[in-house]
Amino acid sequence: MGMRVARRSAESGFETVVFEEHGSIGSPMQCAGLVSTRVVEMTGTESVFMKAGAATVHAPNGKELRLDAGETRAVLLDRKRFDMEMAERAIERGAHLELGCSVRDVRRKGEKMAVRYRRGGENQDIDAKVVIGADGPGSAVRRSAGLGRPREVLSSIQALVAHETEEIHIYLGNHKAPGFFLWEVPHPEGTLVGLASEQGSIYGILKKHLEKRGWSGRMIGLYAGTIPLGLLDESVDAGLMLVGDAACQVKPLSGGGLYTGLLSADLCSKTLIEALEKGDVSKESLNEYHRAWRDEIGGEISKGLWMRKIYKTFSDKQLDELIHTLNNEKVMGVIRDKGDIDYPSHLAGPVIKAAPKLLKFSGPLIKGLF
């Protein structure tokens, strides 16, 4: 998301420096790369390697629910290539990229921001009019500014295995991924198998799943990370703005953050450029961005958090019953017509109407959504 803001800032004529913690763009792997077609429309990316219109959900008891939109609703990105595209576009517009530099601290220094970063084992300093914290779930920028912390942080792990596939599989259940889910999605080099959870040994769970699939000896990469969930009460301060995972702009039900992050990056860019042009980077001025992204996606994130809260209370037996109840043609028709991975709350009312039996699961959910 930082590259998106950097591109907008640089092309508007402002000197822009991007500090990238890692030595290369796109490494380590950040996510599975499954996104809605909105992301392609927003970015014009050429990193799409597969279209997706279907997925299979596996209940804890092994029963399957086939979700098929009958058309392309999502795509799979080569995430490394996507990140490189974003960096190249920012550089082409005039942004200066510094690799292998991690921001350690940000503080107010008169009318400017003092940024301390680490390069090659040494701390260095630079001054800036505005700092954009796009430094991920554990954001040093957010921590320095005291802008709160995620409500919940999930540990995640992904294995890249040498197995070609065009299928997407989602596994539910406390034995697979307590409080979340396990996924298998296509990747340009094979299949990404991953899970996220707030409890248990996720590596141990992943290892068992790979053994069951016969893939334990075919692992060619292993990647770990965290997913921040929640809604920050503040995402700006004087001379400082947060975007992407640093601002917890993440969908609570899927852990995805590309669409929400890109949308927020554009809103951040708009406020940033207007503030710089006016010469007013006060908290009051930059807070227009906070209001804008909360108005745009805050409601959906809030509903997703409530839906997740209810989901976490389900036992495996209840999940089995839920999948069984959803598995009828009327409900599948609603999902085909209205399914949207960026706005899953839009499905709640129509699906409950199509399958009233779901009311036994959704009393607290309806209260939270409506």
Domain count, the chain: 2
Final residue before a domain boundary, out of 229, 252, 286: 229
Spatial strand order in the sheet of 169-171: 64-68, 54-58, 169-171, 182-187, 190-197, 152-161, 219-229
| For residues 123-150, average pLDDT | 95
Domain for residue 281, yes or no? no
| For residues 81-93, average pLDDT | 97
For residue 166, the domain's CATH number is 3.30.9.10
- Mean pLDDT lowest for which of 114-128, 195-209, 257-271? 195-209
Mean pLDDT of the chain: 93
Domain for residue 255, yes or no? no
Q: Band of the pLDDT at 134, cuts 50, 70, 90? A: very high
Domain for residue 323, yes or no? yes
Residue 49 in this model has a pLDDT that exceeds 80 = yes
Kindly report, residue by residue over 232-258, the tens digit of the pLDDT: 999 999 999 999 999 999 999 999 999
Q: Band of the pLDDT at 53, cuts 50, 70, 90? A: confident
| For residues 68-78, average pLDDT | 87
pLDDT for the residue numbered 363:
54
Residue 336 in this model has a pLDDT that exceeds 90 = no
Residue 200 in this model has a pLDDT that exceeds 90 = no
pLDDT for the residue numbered 368:
45
Domain that holds residue 159: 152-229
Domain for residue 344, yes or no? yes
| For residues 280-301, average pLDDT | 97
Domain for residue 254, yes or no? no
Domain for residue 260, yes or no? no
Task: Count Cβ atoms within 10 A of the Cβ of residue 153 and give its class: 0-12 exposed, 13-18 middle, 19 or more buried.
Answer: middle
Domain for residue 50, yes or no? no
Final residue before a domain boundary, out of 174, 199, 229: 229
Domain for residue 195, yes or no? yes
Nearest to 270 by CA among 292, 250, 248: 292
Spatial strand order in the sheet of 122-128: 101-109, 112-119, 122-128
Residue 104 in this model has a pLDDT that exceeds 80 = yes
Final residue before a domain boundary, out of 178, 199, 229: 229
Kindly report, residue by residue over 338-369, the tens digit of the pLDDT: 889 999 999 888 988 888 888 777 655 544 44
Higher pLDDT, 72 or 282: 282
Dmax (CA) of the chain: 64
| For residues 78-98, average pLDDT | 96
pLDDT for the residue numbered 99:
96
pLDDT for the residue numbered 335:
87
| For residues 300-319, average pLDDT | 93
How far lies 280's CA from each of 190, 269, 272, 273, in Å? Answer: 49, 15, 10, 10
pLDDT for the residue numbered 370:
43
